[in-house]
Amino acid sequence: KMDSADQVAIHEAMEQQTISITKAGIQATLNARTSILAAANPKAGRYDRAKSLKANVDLSAPIMSRFDLFFVVLDECDEAHDLHIAQHILDVHRRKHEILAPPFSTEEMQRYIRFARAFDPKMTEEGTNQLVRCYKELRNADMLGRNKSCYRITVRQLESLIRLSEALARLHLDDEVRPKYVNEAFRLLKTSIIQVAEDDVKLNDPDDINFHQPEAEDYGSDGGDDGDVPGGGGGG
């Protein structure tokens, strides 16, 4: 639903981190540093598994390559899942205050986010070495045609790995970017660039996304912490 003019504007903001504005004959360039969370519907109304992500979404390749993560959410018919959703919606209408009782309040989450954003994690030597290994594996898989991505793996994806690793360190209130955060960023990036092109998305297929982590060398005390980061998370 984004027209070409808006695509040009968001491309400038994501590429140069600036926004150009022309009003009353005066042209100004403003700095734009922010995170972008975008949602899009398929061009044909339903996601076509036989096509790539780029073919399903009406966005240019330069814009898509500047997003760190992509996740495809499919609306599939499942009797048990549909029943659970319908019951939850009805329960919300009947007992709204009882159902919507999150473990943390909005104010608590806002305080946590403000505190986490105050951290400026530094890259450790072990984390740097792990970043290089992860990027090399992404590039090798791309050159051999094993990456089911909607774009080529370039240095831009290395920058995505760095941003995601730093965001995970902030999420855990850590001053250092450790190898376990790099591994989790690598897993998120690999999972997000898969192409949904099968009849069923098999999350346990080792050839698709259940890939092995790049073998880490001697990390000292950090070697046993590579699998401690929970799933999920994203850019900060």
The tokens describing 112, both together, are 């946590």
CA distance 67 to 78: 31
CA distance 222 to 209: 25
Q: For every one of its 236 residues, what pLDDT tens digit does the chain have, with 9 covering 90 and above?
A: 677 777 777 877 787 778 888 888 888 888 887 788 888 888 878 888 777 777 888 777 778 878 888 888 888 888 999 998 898 888 888 876 666 777 888 899 999 999 999 999 999 999 999 999 998 888 887 776 655 555 577 788 888 899 999 999 999 999 999 999 999 999 988 887 654 434 444 445 445 444 455 555 554 445 445 444 444 444 44
CA distance 108 to 80: 34
pTM: 0.68
Q: Please tell me the predicted confidence (pLDDT) of residue 198.
A: 41
Q: Among 59, 61, 56, which Cα is nearest to 4's?
A: 59
Q: Please tell me the predicted confidence (pLDDT) of residue 98.
A: 65
CA distance 149 to 208: 11
CA distance 215 to 226: 11
The tokens describing 208, both together, are 């698709």
Q: Please tell me the predicted confidence (pLDDT) of residue 141.
A: 78
Q: Please tell me the predicted confidence (pLDDT) of residue 172.
A: 95
- Mark out the alpha helices in 95-199 (DSSP H runs): 96-99, 106-117, 125-143, 155-171, 179-192
Within 10 angstroms of residue 101's Cβ, the number of other Cβ atoms is 8
CA distance 192 to 183: 14
The one-letter code for the residue type at 61 is: A
Angle, CA 158 vertex, CA 225 and CA 144 arms, to 5°: 100
